[in-house]
Structure 1
Amino acid sequence: MTSQTGLARRPADRAAGKASEERTRVAVCASDPITLNGLTQSLMARLEVFVAGDEHPDDVDVLVFAPERVDAAATAALRRAAARSSAPVVLVASELDRSHLLSLVECRVVAVLHRGAATEERLVRAIDLAAGGGGALPPNLLGELLRQVKDLQQEVLAPLGLNSASMTPREIDVVRLLADGLDTEEIGNRLCYSQRTVKNIIQAMTSRLNVRNRPHLVAYGLRAGVI
């Protein structure tokens, strides 16, 4: 994909009284120069844009990603773009293969606009929502995403004794007690496990979930909603 990056800031007449660091910064990545130019021009009508080059800055607030269609190649390109930035993604596309919905969510896509309906107003609204921690998925895509999450839980995770947090029930019990400040011996006494068993459970989680230590494990549990 053709990759250009713009740091977008609101013009002075629309951002009076706001410090520059509070303004939304946007990186734009498109599948072709025409689309890239069109999106940039649309944003320029509302935002002050600076084209930084071919690499996505790692400090942008939102990434606007615009492939012609969402297929395996576009999803791979989005993964590469998401790897260079932790920003939420606004996706603008003409066609979307719904089998890639979960992959899009993994790449931090929080808003989806059909290219034919992506007016300047709708695009800026989606960017504002994404920057504020929100999102905007069409109802049909949201319904399909929920169905896929349900299927994932029932067909993949449940047979392994896992949930959407990739934790077993006894692992969740251990993490909750860690969050309460209990040490290994106290957790073992509470759950009727040996200290060795508790240590093995914690070690297995830290390795599988790629967390550094017990506080990091507790933080993971908080983000996953199991605590």
Structure 2
Amino acid sequence: MRVLVADDQDLFRGGFAMILGAHEDISVVGEASDGAEAIAKAVELAPDLVLMDIRMPNVDGVAATAEICRRTSAKVLVLTMYDVDDYVYDALRAGASGFLLKDVRRDDLVRAVRLVAAGESLLAPSVTRRLIEDVVRRGSPRPSLRRRLAELTDREVDTLRGLARGLSNSEIAAELVVSEHTVKTHVSNVLTKLHLRDRAQAVVFAYESGLVVAGTD
């Protein structure tokens, strides 16, 4: 797994790189001290994942995330000091696959990087709540997104609802009374048909399309 670490603070950047590089299945291919450098190195080095500080000088982590997701296939895992940081939600909408607090424990950092690189997402309840609040504030779903739901089968729609509720594949399988392998196929189809990068983007889509309504299960 090829990882690029972007953080404007030398101590954090070097620490994360050292922790990740100590594992045989992870190779830190580069470091960046701001968003502009992160974009350039992501394009040049083609990492599988970018560990991205959300607040950096010149080009911040949100803008860098959007550009990297547009120009490369790398997954982005953002880092923040506070889980209520509005920048986190903006980064998710820009294409990030999840976020970690910068005081994360070593083992949790490594686990998170592996999960996101494998296509999973890391969304804390506080971020999902922020997403719901934003949809409620706007008052109505985006019609263009709602129309795209017609591309999904009924089972795929049910799977998308499960993803939006934060359910794992095994939990969705139990609810739909199907195998976990079948759910994996449904998840893959949902992402492909809706042109989404990963499960985090599926959660955003489910709320913004109106498929999942705030205050309902």
* TM superposition score normalised by structure 1: 0.52
Residue aligning to 1:90: 77
Residues 73-122 of structure 1: CA deviation (Å, up to 9, x unaligned): 44223333434422221111113664444431232212211112x12211
Alignment of 1:46-65 (within 5 A): 46=23, 47-51=26-30, 54=37, 55-56=41-42, 57=44, 59-65=46-52
Query: What corresponds to 1:223 in structure 2?
Result: 194
Seen in structure 2, the aligned counterparts of structure 1 residues 76 and 37 have a Cα distance that, compared at 3 Å, is same
Output the amino acid matched with 1:92: L
- The reply to whether residue 34 of structure 1 matches residue 5 of structure 2 is no
Q: Which of 71, 87, 106 is 2:93 aligned to?
A: 106
In structure 1, C-alpha distance between the alignment counterparts of 2:28 and 2:16, rounded to whole Å = 11
CA distance in 1, matches of 2:86, 2:193: 29
Q: What's the secondary structure of 1:86's corresponding residue?
A: coil
Q: Which residue type is aligned with residue 145 of structure 2?
A: S
Q: Secondary structure at the match of 1:95?
A: coil
Measure, in 2, the Cα distance between the counterparts of 1:146 and 1:75.
20
1:125 matched to 2:111? The reply is: yes
Structure 1 residues 1-227: aligned runs within 5 Å: 24-46=1-23, 47-51=26-30, 54=37, 55-56=41-42, 57=44, 59-68=46-55, 73-95=60-82, 98-116=85-103, 118-152=104-138, 154-155=139-140, 157=142, 162-165=143-146, 167=147, 222-223=193-194
TM-score, structure 2 length as denominator? 0.54
Distance 1:168 1:132 in 2: 26
AA partner of residue 43 (structure 1): L
Following the alignment from structure 1 to structure 2, what is the Cα–Cα distance between the partners of residues 66 and 97? 15
Taking only the aligned residue pairs, the percentage that are identical comes to: 17
SS at match of 1:109: coil
| Bigger RCO (CA 8 Å, 6+ sep) | 2
Root-mean-square deviation (CA, aligned residues, Å) is 3.6
- Note closer, same or farther for the CA distance 1:76–1:44 as it changes in structure 2 (3 Å cut): same
- Shift of residue 156, structure 1, vs aligned partner: 6.3
Give the conservation status (yes or no) of the 8 Å contact 1:68–1:95: no
Give the unaligned 5+ runs of structure 2. 153-189, 196-205, 210-217
Instruction: Give the corresponding residue for 2:187.
Output: none
CA distance in 2, matches of 1:79, 1:128: 21
Q: Tell me the CA shift for residue 146 of structure 1.
A: 3.0
Q: 1:96 to 1:140 in 2, by over 3 A?
A: closer
Distance 1:44 1:90 in 2: 16
